[in-house]
Structure formats: structure tokens, C-alpha cells
Amino acid sequence: MFEMTKISIHHLSGCRPTPLAHYLKGLGILRLVGEQADPEARGWWKDDEFHLSTTLDAESLEAFFLSRYSPTPLLSPWNGGSGFYPKDNKIGITAIEASTADRFEAYRSAIRQTKALVEGLGAKPEKGESKNALIASCRREWRGPALKWLDAALALGGNGDPVFPAMLGTGGNDGRLDFTINFMQRLVSLFDMSSVSGDPLKESSPQLRVALWDMPSPTLADGAIGQFFPGAAGGPNGTTGFNGGVRVNPWDYVLMMEGAVLFASGLSRRCQATQLPQGAAPFAVRSSGSGYGSADLSDAGPRGEQWMPLWESPTTLVELSAFLREGRSQINGRPAGRGTDMARAIAKMGVARGVKQFERYGYIERNGLANLAVPLGRFDVRPRPNQRLLDEIVPWTDRLRQSAADKVAPKSFQRCYRACEMAVFNCAKYARGTDFLDLLIAVAEAEDQMLASPKFSGEKCAPVPQLSGQWYATVAEDSAEFRLATALAAQHGPMTSTASSDWRKWASVRQHWVPLDDRQKQFLKGESGLNIGPEQSALGLDLERAAVALINRRLLAMNRGATTDPRSGVRRFPLRLIKDHLGANFVDIAAFLNRQTDDSRILTIARGLMAIKWFETEPIDWRNPQGGPSNRTIDWGRALYGILRLAMPTGEIAHPSGATYEVTCDASIYRKLSAGDMSGAFQLAVRRLANAGLRPKLRVGIATPDVAQRLAASMAFGIDRRSLNRLALSVTAADEDP
């Protein structure tokens, strides 16, 4: 008969994903139980608590740590204050070295071995050959758990110099705080070093229950815990009163450091030339300094950030060690190098399977110059929609980051890059259409900023690349502002009389904001930077002024014959929609004419949309359909706009009778209208339509100069041929009509 082994599942409520100390504590418990008590023990995260499955019941688990636990030899002789040099605090190292209990034998042996390696050194080795030689000797001589600690504390680069994963400071210390000597001092406060078996001290048992089960806290001990537990760092407002001391549970510190041993580095295997050296540590990347409420430019410091995995499947120590040893994330086949890359990898499932969430930590300067492991948010591991769209824009934002980091870059470049980075982060985390629209707006604003510094940008920068048509469907919002922005941005036309007959090669309206070459992939450059010439006529944040400037510039091309139909000899209006479904409807235009829309948002959205390849787009089924008066009904707004619009058509006008009408576009109509002369412009428009065979139902149009200029600006929004024909039916009568 087989004897059934009883398995206990422990909810370790003292081990949570935040702060980092409590996260590492959970991993340390699994590691120690798996190595020293129950190799089949399994751990996982659920309901923000670490769970442990083991043959040890609660009482046996506590007894293991109190009576059988053998500490890992954590030593850092390459650091000052490590206990190996004359001026160091030796309380912890001396007590362990003098102990006789078997549970401390590995520690005693490692101390003796290390003392032999530093013999003859009167002080810590200085950075350079002597320090590198000592580290190399430790790697050569240490074995077992001590070597695991060294792999977690530092890694050797290809040139032999050590690099330090940020989680353990600079090789096991943070400033003047050496983690290893503090670890030994915490052990001395938990165990009787003079007893034969290393018995626990009186306070050790209740402190262990706090660490494991989060029971009511007994008296805590004085001591430092470093960057791992910001809330226990003390300082001003650290407790009641003006200033708080540093009080920690010794077991929290001990188990935290035992868990940190699992995060072994592997620089020679994983780190590439473009990566942060700290990236050798599992899921460690460069700081992005964005994606959380307190984000600041200064947060993107040299220590980077680390994403700690949370998994829900019971996992053995062997499985967890293998997972962390190979722990990395990839984006498009390359290792994630920054926080935004990590967020994108999670959104595209470019991480190891089995992880449910990641807790993001940034190693950031807070509370003066102290480095703290600050929790920056939780990320669910699941695929998000439209992540491939980011592949089109992130190379450009990376280039912007490099430009912004230049010593001579304008300060505004940093602000623009931060806005772009935050938008990329939100696209990866939330993947809402509004997030992608915010990203388009941010990159367009950055592009505009480049134009404000033409000399610098001509050498360092490139325009926003052309984006696929899928962006349009992703960012579309059911609003008049968005539809009007689309009708403005999705227009093009020939700029010269010798322009190609291929409409895809015609110049888009974007070229009146940005100096682009014919392929729209590079800035036009002159001797002193960007070649900002007369084509860039629509600058500024005033939509009315930009729209009028845009049309006036295009009318010059029309007068040169660029928009003359070769078949009929009729001059067309110099702007044409790339696809009919991108046109505005009269309901939205009426809202614009009545000043019921947000002009700044229309222009801001339009600037972002201008980079889209419009010929790749598909129609959108708007919830807000076209409306307004019936085709046979005249209202003054429709009549004024309709007659002026028909006098400036982009093509022939079809009448329901089957007849077609060609109306020659006359630039003088628009000049009068934009100058505020409504009556003069309207009379010319009526005459043009009548000459073409269309009889306007309204013969006189009068309005204030403000209304005339608003109507002039509205001509910058493209309308499709169907809407043009509906206007003709609504506001004119054909000669064939009775």
C-alpha cells in the first residue's frame, strides 16, 4: 500500500507583490524550503498573496526556519563596510565566525575562505584592476550558495569589469549601506550564536509569524532595509511626529535577501551592446520615466527598472530558477530595452508563458539622494489589439529620444518626447482608440516642434513616417471634430502643371505644414537646416487662418494650370479627397459654421492624421448619420455654403435628370470671400453656376465679414461627390427643370 503524503497549502499573507521586500520574501521562502526541506514545494501568487504548497504544515514551517534553516553565505569583500577591513563594523561577521552550530558552517567556511583572499589588503580594493582581481578570485574559489549570491550581486562584462544589477545596488551595497553586513547583523538578532545548535532568540518566533502570516507586530528592531521597503526607510513624516526612525522586522530582511539570490545575472549571455548592463538581470530594462502618476524626467536614471513576474500556476523551485535564469522579454525578435518596450512586449505576449501579471519597479532617487525601489503599477499579461501599429511609429520616437538627449537639443524636445513616450505606454497598457489618437497628436506636435528649430532638426531629425490605413479605423472617434479633421487631412492635389497623372503621387495637404520631399520620407533641407519655404503656408494654431492660407496657396497652383481637366479644359478646385468616404457631411460643416466645434482640436487631430496613407483606408459606419433639411428644402446656411461650394467644385456636378455640369473654379470668388466680402463673392458664384446651366435658388447672399471668413475656412474640408450632387439638388435648379 502507498502512504499518502499530506500536503499543506499556506496563504502567506505577509508576502505580497509590494513592496519589493515582501515580494522577494515570498521567493526566499520558496527557495529555502525547496533547497533545505521539501524539494517538491511549490509557490504561486493569488489574490495578492504568495501561496506555498508543501509537506510542512504551519507549525513545521515555522520550526524549519527557527531550528533548521541554514543561511546563505552573503559576503561582499569588494565593498567597504563589508566587515573584512579594519575600519568596518564587525559585529555580525565576528559573531557568525565564532559560532559552533552546524547551521552556520557554510557561512563560517565562506568567511574563512574570503579572509584568505583579502589577506594583505588594509582597505577595500579601489575600482580597477585590484577590485576586478578580487572579484575574479571570489568567482574562482566560492562554491554553492555563496557563488549564487555573487551571480545575483554582479556580473563580469567582456572587458573584465563588473556591472551591477540595480536590485542589489552596486554589488551588494547602496551608498554606505552594505547589504551583507546588515544581513549578518539581522541573523545575530534572531539566533543565539553562542549555543551549540544556534537556537532562536526569544523575539525570533513572534517576528517570524509576522513575516509569514502578517500577524500583529511585536517590537521591531533598529536597522536599515535599504531601497527594498520605502515605507520603512524612516525620515521626515516617517511616523507620528516630525521624524521617524528605521524599524524593521529582522526576518523580513533575512528572507528578502534570500529571495534576491534567485535573480542571478548573465551578462555575457544576454546583454547586447545597446542594452543596459543591468539588463543582464531578469526582466530589467532601462527606465522610461513614464506610465505612472508621479513620473518625472529625472526618474529615467541609470539604475533602470525591473518587472517582477506574478504567476498563478504552482511552480517548483527548479522551474522558477530556470524561468528567472532565462527571464527576458522580446519585442519583434529583439530583447526589450526600455520600460515602454517591456509594456509593448507584454501587450504582444512577447514574454515567457505562464506569467499572469508583472509588478513594475523603478529604482529611483527619492527622499533626497536615496535610491528606492518604487512600485510603478501592475500590468496584466494579455494580448492587446492594434499593437502592430506601434511598430510603425516607435522607431521614430526612439530617434526622437536620441535627438532630445543631444546636449544642444532644445529643451522642448524632451517635453515632446515624454508626451510621445507616455502615449506609447498607454497604447500598450490600455490599447484604446483614444490612446492611439493621443499618440498621433503627440508625434505631430513633436514634428511641429522640429520646425521651430530648423537648424538642429535638419541634422538630427526626420518627419513622422507614413502610417498604414489601419490607423484611421483605430483612432476614429464619432465626433464632428474628428470627421472634419479627416476631411481636411485626407486631401491632395497636383502642385504644378507638370504633376504626375497618378493621383497617389500628388501632394497632400501635409506639405503645407511640413517641408517634405516628393516621397514624404525626409525633410527638405537647405544649407542652414530645414528648407522651410513658401509651401509651408498653413503654420500656426489658428484653424481659420491655416485653412485660408492652405487654399490660397493651392489656388496659385490652379492658376498655373495644375488643376485643369485635360479633357474639358475646366479648372477644378485645387484640393481633392483621396477617397470619397473621407469627406465631411453638411451636419458637421454646419456645426463648424455655427462655431459649435472645437477649432483647436480639429487642427490638432488633422495634423496627426496627415501621416496616414489614406488610399489604404476603408469606410467607417458612423453612428451619427448625415442629417439636416431635405434636399428640396432651402435653409440659409445650406444655401450660402452650397452655392459657394458648388462654385468651387473638385469635379463635374451630376443632376438627377442625368445631365452633368462643369463649373470652372474662379480664384477671385475665394479671394473676396476670405477678405470678408460676402456679397461680392456670392454674386460671382451665382454667375458661375448660371453660366454652367445651374440656376441658384438664392440670388443674393449677405453676411458679416466674420461669417464670410468662416465660410472661406469651411471650404478646406473636402466633401465627396455624392454630397456635392445633393447640394446641387438642394440649392439650384438645372436648366432642364420646369
Q: What's the confidence (pLDDT) of residue 280? A: 65
**In the structure, what pLDDT confidence band is assigned to residue 243 with cuts at 50, 70 and 90?**
very low
Residue with the bigger pLDDT between 310 and 173: it is: 310
Q: What is the pLDDT of residue 129?
A: 82
First and final C-alpha spacing in the chain? 106
Quote the pLDDT of residue 164.
87
Mean pLDDT, range 54-61, rounded to an integer: 96
pLDDT at 271: 44
Tens digits of residue pLDDT in 688-700: 999 988 889 888 9
In this predicted model, what pLDDT tens digit does every residue of 14-49 receive, in sequence order? Answer: 999 999 999 999 999 999 999 999 999 999 999 999
What is the reported pLDDT for 225?
Answer: 65
Model confidence pLDDT, tens digit, residues 255-289: 999 999 999 875 434 444 345 545 468 888 888 87
| Position 235 pLDDT exceeds 80 | no
Among 227-241, 297-311, 338-352, 625-639, the range scoring the smallest mean pLDDT is 625-639
Burial classification of residue 60, based on how many CB atoms lie within 10 Å of its CB (0-12 exposed, 13-18 middle, 19 or more buried): middle
Residue, of 321 and 218, whose pLDDT is higher: 321
Name the residue with cell 507583490.
17
Position 299 scores a pLDDT of 64
Separation of CA 683 from chain center: 55
Asked whether the predicted pLDDT for residue 685 surpasses 50, the reply is: yes
Reported as a single tens digit per residue, the pLDDT across 602-648 is 999 999 999 999 999 999 988 655 544 434 444 677 889 999 999 99
Q: What is the pLDDT of residue 46?
A: 95
State the DSSP H helix or E strand holding residue 376, giving kind and residue range, or none if neither: strand 370-380
Report whether pLDDT(221) > 70.
Answer: no
Q: What is the pLDDT of residues 515-524, one digit of tens each?
A: 988 777 888 8
Q: What pTM was computed for the model?
A: 0.88
DSSP reduced 3-state for 414:
helix
CB hemisphere CA count around 378 (13 angstroms): 11
Going by the DSSP 8-state scheme, the letter that residue 329 receives in this structure is: B
Q: Which helix (H) or strand (E) holds 320?
A: helix 317-325
Q: What angle do CA 425, 390, 619 make, to 5 degrees?
A: 120
Which DSSP symbol is given to 222?
Answer: E
**75, 110 contact by CB (below 8 A):** yes
Residue 439 has pLDDT above 50, yes or no: yes
Q: Which H or E element spans position 285?
A: strand 284-285
In sequence order, which residues have a C-beta less than 8 Å from that of residue 696 and are 6 or more positions away?
639, 643, 685, 686, 689, 690, 731, 732
> Do 535 and 553 form a contact (C-beta atoms < 8 A)?
yes
Given a cut of 50, whether residue 378 has pLDDT beyond it is yes
Residue 401 has pLDDT above 70, yes or no: yes
Looking up cell 495644375, which residue turns up? 562
3-state SS, one letter per residue, for 509-555: HHHHCCCECCCCCCECEECCEECCCCCCCCCCCCHHHHHHHHHHHHH
Cell numbers 529611483 correspond to what residue?
364
- Please tell me the predicted confidence (pLDDT) of residue 679: 95
Q: Characterize 349-372 residue by residue with b for buried, 16 or more Cβ atoms within 10 angstroms of its Cβ, and e for exposed.
A: ebbbeebebbbbbbbbebeeebbb
∠ at Cα 496 (495, 500), nearest 5°?
90
- For 493-518, write each residue's pLDDT tens digit: 876 654 555 555 578 899 999 998 87
The pLDDT score that the predictor gives to residue 273 is 37
Condensed to tens digits (0 to 9), the pLDDT of residues 79-112 reads 988 999 988 888 899 999 999 999 999 999 999 9
| Percent of all residues in the chain with a pLDDT value above 90, rounded to a whole number | 54
DSSP result, 471-512: HHHHH--SSHHHHHHHHHHTEEE-SSTT--S-GGGSEEGGGG
Is residue 484 predicted with pLDDT exceeding 50? yes
What pLDDT does residue 707 have? 93
Distance in angstroms (rounded) separating the CA atoms of residues 366 and 125: 29
Comparing C-alpha atoms, which of 683, 699, 682 is closest to residue 733? 699
Q: Structural domain boundaries of the chain?
A: 267-383, 393-465, 636-734
User: Regarding predicted confidence, which is higher, 208 or 628?
Assistant: 208
Q: Tell me, what's the pLDDT at 608?
A: 97
Could you please report the per-residue DSSP string of 657-695? TS-EE-----HHHHHHHHTT-HHHHHHHHHHHHHHHTEE
Measured over the CA atoms of residue 575, residue 576, residue 577 and residue 583, the dihedral's sign is positive
With beta carbons less than 8 A apart as the criterion, state whether 206 and 195 touch: no
Which H or E run contains 146?
helix 145-153
Mean pLDDT value across residues 146-162: 84
Looking up cell 535573480 gives: 263
pLDDT at 228 over 60: yes
pLDDT at res. 222: 59
pLDDT of residue 574: 86
Q: Are 338 and 66 in contact (CB under 8 A)?
A: no
| Distant-in-sequence, close-in-space partners of 405: CB < 8 Å, separation ≥ 6 | none
